[in-house]
Amino acid sequence: MSAEGLSQAKKIVIVGGGAVGLEVARQLTERGERVRIVDDREVVVEKARAQGFLAERISFQNDEELKRIGIGGEVDVLFALLDDDASNVFLVISARAMAPELPIVSISGVHDTIERLHAAGATKVIDPYRISGYKIYERMHRPLIAETLEHTVFGKVNLDIAEIHVREGCFLHGKYLDELSLEERYNLIVLGVVDRELGDHLIFATDPRRHRMDDGDVLVLIGPEDAFRKFHAQLNAAEQ
């Protein structure tokens, strides 16, 4: 990576070195971000180090230790990925008090906890069960695509995810998702859309016939890197 690339890399702290934390760290590291994993369990820290990550043991209930690792200072993004929901809520409250503008991402599959995390100051809360629900739907209705996605997730194919912003005049504008045939034409799977008429939240695309792409909408896609190169080439050509 060039010196310019290093200077632009975000400084990211992941609190929680469990399976989710390690996977997030792996993906971010592959994208060139500077990642540090912290946990209060020595065995978890040692496991993260064994996999090549910068990791250390801290007490996340100690504000001074949170400051020492850069919360409220040099850290650009915080991931609260502890195994216990109550611990994540406590961490988000502490970090938000120290860093009012810091992006904080957490995870929970419990509706009440998701609300608590948002109330505590989390910028984004990921619900893994909604994602699993989408995967189940795909397996029921499009098993071949689901199998391809599953293989990609487990590293057999290079998976990427991208946000495609719809502009008036591009070939996406005015089309319903099922009209685009993105799976057949580009080997890309539609994860969801951000419909600006309905707000800024991602809507999982379980029924593509219901989503008409308008100017300002955002299309979220999953697929191999070479598929995205082909898709972007046609998108750019259509806009010229």
Q: Whats the size of the chain, residue-wise?
A: 240
The residue type at 170 = C
pLDDT score at 224: 76
Quote the radius of gyration of the chain (alpha carbons, Å).
20
43 vs 52: CA distance, rounded Å: 15
- 128 pLDDT above the threshold of 80: no
165 vs 131: CA distance, rounded Å: 22
Cβ-contact 186, 230 below 8 angstroms: yes
121 vs 72: CA distance, rounded Å: 14
Q: CA-CA distances (angstroms) from residue 236 to 167, 175, 223, 228, 239?
A: 11, 17, 18, 12, 5
The pLDDT tens digits for 168-220 are 878 888 888 778 888 778 888 777 777 777 766 666 555 555 678 888 888 87
The pLDDT tens digits for 13-44 are 999 998 888 988 988 888 888 999 999 999 99
The pLDDT tens digits for 108-127 are 877 778 888 989 999 988 87
